[in-house]
Amino acid sequence: MGPYRSYLFFHPDQIRDLLVTHWSSFRKMKHQVNVMKQWDGNGLVLSEGEFWQRQHRLVQPSFSSKRIRDYAQVMVTRTERRLNRWRKRPSFELDSERNTLTMEIITECLFGSEVESRAKEIEAAVMHLSEIGVKEFQSPVSVPSWIPTSHNRCKAHAIRVLDGIIRGFIDERKRNPEMLKNRNDLLSTLIAASDPQLGRMTDTQARDEAMVLFLAGHDTTATALIWIFYHLGLHPAWQEKIVSEIRAVAGERTPQFEDCEKLVLLRAFIQETIRLYPPAIGVFGRENEREVSIGGYTIPKNSVVFTSSYTTHRDPRWFPDPLTFNPERFLGARVKEIPHFAYFPFGGGPRICTGMQFAMVEMALVVATVLQRYQLENEPNQVVEPKVMISLRPKNPIRVRVASRASPIARSRGFF
């Protein structure tokens, strides 16, 4: 590939060597990092070495179980508000609904504030940067940002929109110290994060981490939920099993954080969905700074190495009949048969996704809240194919039909 010799690894043992054994020998591909840095700055996804370790230590407490328990209520409340709008909409496109809902959730969890007046502008900016990222990743030549092409003008506008919002919230909190003390949103915890040895983040560092969380927290989770609801429509028997489980666990109340561990069937359904369609598809390549040996191959310095969760997750050696949707793979003793790193939708090793638990809780609570109220069915005759962007999205919009469930839960809350 141009000046690079590239290696692609698909075996779980090789992926372990790459993500765990030799993780410190690799850096993300410079060209791709330079693309993402235009809007992500030096956040956790892109930073390396001692700076990454420092930021990781400062950011990690923001995703403790205690913090996520607080965010869980936001996830449920926001989903319930969204469901109020479905009553007069027998069918709709999953893409727009999931994007809007996850945008509302991450906005409130991250900023503790609503920006509904700019929701469409924000959503357009996020989608535009996702498309730009893939195009510039694949382009062998980068057009300097200062050249006023239509592409660069649109990119600059999208960055200004998101940067202005995040820096505005940071400035607001810095001007009002009492406000910072009394808030539990993610941005406030980032600004207040400190370590006896590391001190605090600068405003720029807080901005970069917030941007990463904002974009990743919206895009990948929204994409996962699209695939999850699509598969619920494809598999009505599983949908009803999960509804029965939700009723057994939550009864007449809304789902909550503590329920997530008990929703075993739902969790297995989510895991099987992101096995077949891992949202964080792994478009990043890694360059090695020293010669290493992986899977019996000597990888010369300055090579580029790729993994593909999409490919490994569909390997019949680890997942018999791999193209068949079967959540039972992740139930009981069967999950122990899956080799470590044959399944890695959130990456692995020291750089495993920091927001993994946040994402799993959000997906479970959103799905549980929806299924308490609605039965889902896919519109017929749809051609559904994946498309690689920064996340693995459906190529075309997916439409679903919804019907109210004649349940005591729905009636007791005045939904129907």
Higher-pLDDT residue of 97, 109: 109
Domains of the chain: 6-407 (1.10.630.10)
**What is the rounded average pLDDT of the residues 98-110?**
85
CA-based end-to-end distance of the chain: 58
- For 170, residues 6+ apart whose C-beta sits below 8 A from its C-beta are 187, 191, 203, 206, 207, 210
Contact 285, 306 (CB under 8 A): yes
d(CA 416, CA 404): 7
| 322-369: pLDDT as tens digits | 999 999 999 999 999 999 999 999 999 999 988 999 999 999 999 999
- Which residue is associated with the tokens 């057009």? 143
Residue 87 token pair:
């009553």
Mean pLDDT (the chain) is 88
Question: In this model, does residue 25 exceed pLDDT 90?
Answer: yes
HEC readout, 319-363: CCCCCCCCHHHHCHHHHHHCCCCCCCCCCCHHHCCCCHHHHHHHH
> What is the model's pLDDT at position 150?
87
* 8-state DSSP, 316: T
- Report long-range pairs for 357-360 (Cβ below 8 Å, ≥24 apart): 357/63, 357/65, 357/68, 358/63, 358/68, 358/71, 358/109, 358/217, 359/217, 359/220, 359/221, 359/224, 360/260, 360/267, 360/270
- For 13, residues 6+ apart whose C-beta sits below 8 A from its C-beta are 295, 341
Strand-pairing partners, residue 200, are 194
> What is the model's pLDDT at position 406?
63
> What is the model's pLDDT at position 124?
82
Q: Rounded to 5 degrees, what are φ and ψ at 297?
A: -105, 135
d(CA 342, CA 275): 10
Q: Predicted confidence band at 99 (pLDDT cuts at 50, 70, 90)?
A: confident
Q: Rounded to 5 degrees, what are φ and ψ at 390?
A: -65, -35
| 182-224: pLDDT as tens digits | 677 888 888 887 766 767 888 899 899 989 888 877 888 989 9
- For 3, residues 6+ apart whose C-beta sits below 8 A from its C-beta are none
